[in-house]
């Protein structure tokens, strides 16, 4: 049974981003209209019943997150929409924001109504200036048409949506760091608890939701929680965007249910159509760079939060990075540790210092200058980061090392034994290849 996309069904049409199109083709803002007829609590109950799980990475039930937002307080409440899409391998929100911006604005408004907020901030990463233009135009359109602003549809509900531009920090994707950045500080995570639902933005109750999560909310309100839950496996309902990149023939964003297996996503004709240049499949990172690697034997796993977890990895942000047999796993860990070392916010010592040492050790092994004891040292340093930091970044930084050591320890040993990288592909930098060869 082919899956009928509901989030991205119109993205290929040229005018999909306009309000006119959204209202004439996608039942635009009907969800908001319908939602305002319910009590806020009913909306939260509906989202809970739908089983919608956060699409940003953790897969936490959105309804619960909203329920935890403190109700009895004189303080204002806020929605912060996390559009700081920077997890390597993830580019789904990019499509949603650029081609279907009104869906997310509607989602923000419904979210505000449900938790009793009046203001939603969309935190968009600084590199997405072209996306920001589209969004700003969409927000202005929505204001003009009365979908945002004061007394929406005469219901007495006021809602403002503002766009806040980040300035280049991966860490700002972590919810408390995002709040810090919204407050005009360095994007560094806070100690939890208190959770943002109790003390978030400006010390007020805040719900931080991913773009894709909020995009699903209008659909749940319109079509009902049962419809949504029925779209996928138990507890993994709804449509899901998968971003496939790397060594596949047709990389891109594919919307399907979480029944779809990883093998389908990589090899299916409707999806990525298999490996490029007739090379063999080697490994896949199923959920953005922060999750463990899966191998050929795991490919028949359905791409749902629970199934992928059972297979030993995480669905995370659903950024599938596919690698063929030309990829050296030591290089892979080195590449990712360069990322984590650069993006670590520096607040917690294990992550800040550990990431740096991991990178240096990996560079040494990759160049063929390492010793066998370096491999154990890598393991030791990585394990001393896991669980010892304020946010999940530390675990994420250690993961590439632990997972490559777990599955490909023999490649590390081969580097040490032969004194060079044994897999120097033509897409790699010549300098590193040369350094590895001496």
Partner 1 sequence: MSFHPRIEYATFHRSERTFAELGEPFTYTPEHQAQFNEVVTHYPPEQRKSAILYALFLVQKQQGYITGASMRFVAEQIRCTPADVEDVVSYYTMFYTKPVGKYVLNVCRTLSCALLGAERVTEELSAKLGIAPGQTTPDGMFTLIEVECLGACDRAPVVMVNDDGWHERLAPEQAATFVDDLRARGYQALTGCHLHVEKK
Token pair of 264, please? 């389908």
Phi-psi sector, 153: left (phi>0), alpha (psi -120 to 50), beta = left
Beta bridge partners of 163: 122
24, 25, 202, 349: which one contacts partner 1 (CB under 8 A)?
A: 202
Q: Where are the alpha helices (DSSP H) in 242-392?
A: 262-267, 305-310, 329-343, 349-366, 372-383
> Given the rule CB under 8 A, which of 36-44, 184-192, 215-223, 230-238 is the region that contacts partner 1?
184-192
Interface of this chain with partner 1, residues 302 to 341, rule: CB under 8 A: 319, 321, 323, 327, 332, 335-336, 338-339
Query: Min. distance of Cβ 305 from partner 1 in angstroms?
Result: 21
Judged by CB under 8 A, does residue 404 bind partner 1? no
> Given the rule CB under 8 A, which of 136-144, 147-155, 359-367, 403-411 is the region that contacts partner 1?
359-367
Interface of this chain with partner 1, residues 14 to 43, rule: CB under 8 A: 14-17
Whichever of 263 and 282 has its CB closer to partner 1, that residue is 282
User: What is the distance between the alpha carbons of residues 10 and 255, in angstroms, rounded to a whole number?
Assistant: 12
Judged by CB under 8 A, does residue 289 bind partner 1? yes
Interface of this chain with partner 1, residues 266 to 285, rule: CB under 8 A: 285
User: What is the distance between the alpha carbons of residues 283 and 295, in angstroms, rounded to a whole number?
Assistant: 5
User: What is the distance between the alpha carbons of residues 219 and 112, in angstroms, rounded to a whole number?
Assistant: 16
Whichever of 33 and 164 has its CB closer to partner 1, that residue is 164
Phi-psi sector, 405: left (phi>0), alpha (psi -120 to 50), beta = alpha
Whichever of 221 and 330 has its CB closer to partner 1, that residue is 330
Token pair of 319, please? 């950024």
Query: Min. distance of Cβ 375 from partner 1 in angstroms?
Result: 15
Interface of this chain with partner 1, residues 67 to 106, rule: CB under 8 A: 76, 85-91, 93-95, 98-99
Query: Min. distance of Cβ 318 from partner 1 in angstroms?
Result: 12
**HEC readout, 321-365:** EEEECCCCHHHHHHHHHHHHHHHCCCCCHHHHHHHHHHHHHHHHH
Interface of this chain with partner 1, residues 223 to 262, rule: CB under 8 A: 243-247, 251-253
Judged by CB under 8 A, does residue 403 bind partner 1? no
Judged by CB under 8 A, does residue 185 bind partner 1? yes
User: What is the distance between the alpha carbons of residues 288 and 141, in angstroms, rounded to a whole number?
Assistant: 34
Interface of this chain with partner 1, residues 104 to 143, rule: CB under 8 A: 121, 125-131, 133-134
71, 342, 409, 410: which one contacts partner 1 (CB under 8 A)?
A: 342
Whichever of 47 and 120 has its CB closer to partner 1, that residue is 120
74, 154, 156, 184: which one contacts partner 1 (CB under 8 A)?
A: 184
182, 221, 222, 275: which one contacts partner 1 (CB under 8 A)?
A: 182
| Contacts of residue 100, Cβ cutoff 8 Å, sequence gap at least 6 | 7, 8, 10, 11, 16, 17, 22, 26, 215
Neighbours of 438 (CB within 10 A): 9
Is the Cα dihedral 55, 44, 391, 346 positive or negative?
A: positive
């Amino acid at each position: 049974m082919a899956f009928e996309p509901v989030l991205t069904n119109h993205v290929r049409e040229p005018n999909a981003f306009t309000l006119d199109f959204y209202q004439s083709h996608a039942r635009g803002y009907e969800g908001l209209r319908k939602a305002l007829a319910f009590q806020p609590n009913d909306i939260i109950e509906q989202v809970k019943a739908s089983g919608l799980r956060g699409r940003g990475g953790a897969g936490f039930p959105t309804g619960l997150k909203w329920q935890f937002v403190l109700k009895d307080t004189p303080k204002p409440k806020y929605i912060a929409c996390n559009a700081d899409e920077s997890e390597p391998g993830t580019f789904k929100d990019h499509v949603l924001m650029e081609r279907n911006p009104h869906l997310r604005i509607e989602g923000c408004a419904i979210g505000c109504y449900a938790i009793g907020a009046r203001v939603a901030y969309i935190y968009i990463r600084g590199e997405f200036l072209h996306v920001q233009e589209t969004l700003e135009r969409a927000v202005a359109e929505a204001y003009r048409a009365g979908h945002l602003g004061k007394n929406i549809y005469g219901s007495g509900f006021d809602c403002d949506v503002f766009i806040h531009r980040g300035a280049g920090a991966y860490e700002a994707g972590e919810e408390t760091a995002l709040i810090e950045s919204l407050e005009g500080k360095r994007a560094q995570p806070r100690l939890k608890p208190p959770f943002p639902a109790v003390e978030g933005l400006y010390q007020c109750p805040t719900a931080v939701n991913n773009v894709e999560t909020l995009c699903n909310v209008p659909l749940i309100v319109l079509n009902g929680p049962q419809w949504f839950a029925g779209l996928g496996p138990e507890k993994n309902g709804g449509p899901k965007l998968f971003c496939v990149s790397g060594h596949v023939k047709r990389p891109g964003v594919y919307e399907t249910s979480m029944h779809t297996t990883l093998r389908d996503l990589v090899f299916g004709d409707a999806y990525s159509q298999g490996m490029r240049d007739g090379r063999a499949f080697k490994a896949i990172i199923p959920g953005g760079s922060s999750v463990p690697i899966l191998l050929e034997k795991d490919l028949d796993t359905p791409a749902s939060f629970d199934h992928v977890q059972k297979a030993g990895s995480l669905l995370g942000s659903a950024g599938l990075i596919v690698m063929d047999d030309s990829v050296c796993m030591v290089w892979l860990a080195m590449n990712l540790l360069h990322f984590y070392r650069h993006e670590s916010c520096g607040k917690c010592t294990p992550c800040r210092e550990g990431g740096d040492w991991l990178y240096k050790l990996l560079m040494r092994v990759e160049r063929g200058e390492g010793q066998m004891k370096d491999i154990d040292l890598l393991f030791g340093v990585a394990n001393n980061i896991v669980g010892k930091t304020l946010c999940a970044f530390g675990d994420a930084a250690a993961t590439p090392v632990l997972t490559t050591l777990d599955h490909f320890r023999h490649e590390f040993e081969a580097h040490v034994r032969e004194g060079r990288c044994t897999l120097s592909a033509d897409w790699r930098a010549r300098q590193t290849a040369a350094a590895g060869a001496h």
